[in-house]
Amino acid sequence: MSTLIDLKNITKNYGDLKALDNVSLEISPGRIVGLVGPNGAGKTTLLRAITGELDYTGEAKVLDFEPRSQRADLMTKTGVIHDIAVLPSWMKVVELLKFLDGIHPGFNRSKAETFLKTTTIPMDKKIKTLSKGMKTQLHLAVTLATDTQLLILDEPTHGLDILFRKQLYTSVLEDYFDEEKSILISTHQIEEVEHILSDVIFINKGKILLHASIDELGERFTQLTVPADQADELREQLKPMSEYGILGRRVFLLENTDNKALVELGDIQTPSVADIFVALMGGEA
């Protein structure tokens, strides 16, 4: 399968609000894609369209399925983890594993149990009694133990401590990801995941602002730090996308520049994904 997600002109309106505005994109196997945007940008609506949870105009193929009409088939090959628990709260942990083992042909119960042994989750407790962190760990365990081709993480670590957030992404990489699968991560904490991303999608007001690989970002954008007393002259010359001050110096974000010509002007670095996003958003993020 050459493309896991193929969207063409996807549009979704809620009355006068255009939640998705003519969105087209392709995601291939073996990619870890960060979906980045402010609140209300359209991230969750896009994920719900991809998984067939809502109606839209346009054309979509996800894992060769049409998400709306073939959602049941699609979800057997797609794992989704949200920022809120969606597991059956009345079940005990052991009952959930038994239930999934009985209904899902791709679920590996022993793999889930092995993962849970690394946690403090009690097998005999009802899910509703678990802490938020435990519920997320349980959801992660059963998702990673299921044979899927696409994993969608929708703000999965919201409200959780930094140690758990790092553990979650490490587990995803070690226990799930390979060259035949892809991961789509919607997050506000882009700084925590940008080191594992192969691609980013910037979205705002329902429109895709940028879809590029991390390598392409490094080639396209440059961060230049210059002495403050030279900033006015260089600003006029270089026309930076954005800038900020730090320790008496000015930091410019530049696009499509000749880095060789910048060497004598100041210190050159590759900007972070967060810095590029803020610049494209006009400082609104």
Domain boundaries, the chain: 5-216, 220-280
Question: What's the token pair of residue 23?
Answer: 């969105």
Return phi, psi of residue 122, to 5°.
-80, 130
Whole-number Å distance between alpha carbons of 241 and 233:
15
> pLDDT tens track of the chain, all 285 residues?
688 999 999 999 998 889 999 999 999 999 999 999 888 889 999 999 999 999 999 999 999 999 999 999 999 899 888 766 678 889 999 999 999 999 888 899 998 998 888 888 999 999 999 988 888 888 888 988 888 899 998 887 766 777 777 777 787 777 778 888 899 999 877 887 888 899 999 999 999 999 999 999 989 999 999 999 999 999 999 999 998 988 889 999 999 988 888 888 889 999 999 899 988 887 544
Residues 10, 24: contact at Cβ < 8 Å? yes
Fold of 5-216: Rossmann fold (3.40.50)
pTM: 0.86
Question: What's the token pair of residue 244?
Answer: 């900020």
Residues in the chain: 285
Whole-number Å distance between alpha carbons of 50 and 71:
10
Report how far apart, in Å, the C-alpha atoms of 207 and of each of 41, 231, 282 are: 8, 33, 15
Q: Return all residues near 191 (Cβ < 8 A) that are at least 6 apart.
A: 272, 273, 274
State the DSSP code for 32: E
